[in-house]
Structure 1
Amino acid sequence: MDAPARARIIVVGNEKGGSGKSTTAMHILTGLLLEGGRVAAIDLDAKQRTLTRYLENRKAFIEKNGLRLPMPEHVVVAESDRPVRSEAAAEEAERLAAAMADLSARHDFVLLDCPGSDTNLSRHGHSYADLLITPVNDSFIDVDLLATVDPETLKVVKPSRYAVMVWEQRKQRFARDRQSVDWVVIRNRLSHLDARNKRNVGHVLQSLEKRIGFRFLPGLSERVIFRELFLSGLTLMDLDRTGSINMAQAAARQEVRSLLVGLGLFTDD
Structure 2
Amino acid sequence: MSIGGSRPHFIVFANEKGGTGKSTTAVHSAVALAAAGRRVAAIDLDTRQRTLGRYLDNRLATIRRTQTELPMPVHETFDPAKNDDLNAQLDRLAADAEVVVVDTPGRDDPYARQAMQRADTLVTPINDSFVDLDLIGEVDAETYKVRRPSFYAELVWKSRQQRAKTTGRTVDWVLLRNRLQHIEAKNMRRVGNALDELAKRVGFRVIPGLGERVIYRELFPSGLTLLDLQQLGNVGLSHIAARQELREMIAAFSIPEDGVEAMPQRAVAAG
Fold shared per TM-score above 0.5: yes
SS at match of 1:219: strand
1:110-259 matched pairs, under 5 angstroms: 110-191=100-181, 195-240=185-230, 243=233, 245-259=235-249
Cross-structure match for 1:77:
78
* Letter in structure 2 aligned against 1:23: T
- Residue 68 of structure 1: CA displacement? 0.7
Deviation at 1:189, TM superposition (A): 3.0
Cα distance, 1:194 vs structure 2: 5.3
Q: Which residue identity is paired with 1:10?
A: I
Shift of 1:102: 1.3
The two structures, once aligned, show a CA RMSD in angstroms of 2.0
In structure 2, what is the Cα distance between the partners aligned to 1:74 and 1:31?
Answer: 14
Are the structure 2 counterparts of residues 194 and 125 from structure 1 closer, same or farther at C-alpha, using a change threshold of 3 Å?
A: same
Give the conservation status (yes or no) of the 8 Å contact 2:128–2:183: no
In the TM superposition, residue 75 of structure 1 has moved relative to its aligned partner by 1.6
The match for 1:10 is 11
> Which segments of 5 or more consecutive residues in structure 1 lack a partner in the other structure?
82-90
State whether residues 9 and 255 of structure 2, in contact with CA within 8 Å, keep that contact through their aligned partners in structure 1: no
In 2, Cα distance between equivalents of 1:5 and 1:266: 12
Question: Residue 58 of structure 1: SS of its match in structure 2?
Answer: helix
**Out of 245, 252, 270, which is 1:262 matched to?**
252
- 3-state SS of the aligned residue for 2:165? helix
What secondary structure, in the 3-state scheme, does the structure 2 residue paired with 1:75 have? strand
Structure 2 SS opposite 1:106: coil
Contact 1:189 1:223 in 2 (8 A): no
Q: Secondary structure of 1:132's match?
A: strand
Identify the match of residue 97 of structure 1 among 84, 87, 105: 87
Question: Any idea what the Cα deviations from partners look like across 1:81-115, whole Å, max 9, x if unmatched?
Answer: 9xxxxxxxxx84xx111012112221100011000
TM-score w.r.t. structure 1 length?
0.89
Task: Report the secondary structure of 1:71's partner residue.
Answer: coil
Structure 2 residue runs without a partner (length 5+): 258-271
In structure 2, C-alpha distance between the alignment counterparts of 1:266 and 1:54, rounded to whole Å: 26
Whether the aligned pair in 2 keeps the contact of 1:190 and 1:220 (CA below 8 Å) is no
224-233 vs 107-116, which moves further: 224-233
Deviation at 1:247, TM superposition (A): 1.9
Q: Per-residue deviation at 1:243?
A: 4.3
Q: Distance in 1 between matches of 2:244 and 2:110?
A: 36
Query: Displacement of 1:213 after TM fit?
Result: 0.7
Residue 217 of structure 1 contacts residue 259 of structure 1 at CA under 8 Å; is this kept in 2? yes
Q: Which residue of 1 aligns with 2:60?
A: 59
Give the letter for the 1:70 counterpart: P
Deviation at 1:167, TM superposition (A): 0.9
The percent identity for this pair of structures is: 49
Distance in 2 separating the partners of 1:257 and 1:128: 25
Q: Deviation digits for residues 113-134 of structure 1, max 9, x if unmatched? A: 0000001001001111000010
1:13 deviates by: 0.7
Q: Does 1:39 align with 2:40?
A: yes
3-state secondary structure, aligned to 2:18: coil
Stretch moving more, 176-185 or 243-252: 243-252
Secondary structure of the corresponding residue to residue 196 of structure 1: helix
Matched position secondary structure for 2:239:
helix
Conserved? CA contact 1:132–1:181, under 8 Å: yes
Contact 1:25 1:113 in 2 (8 A): yes
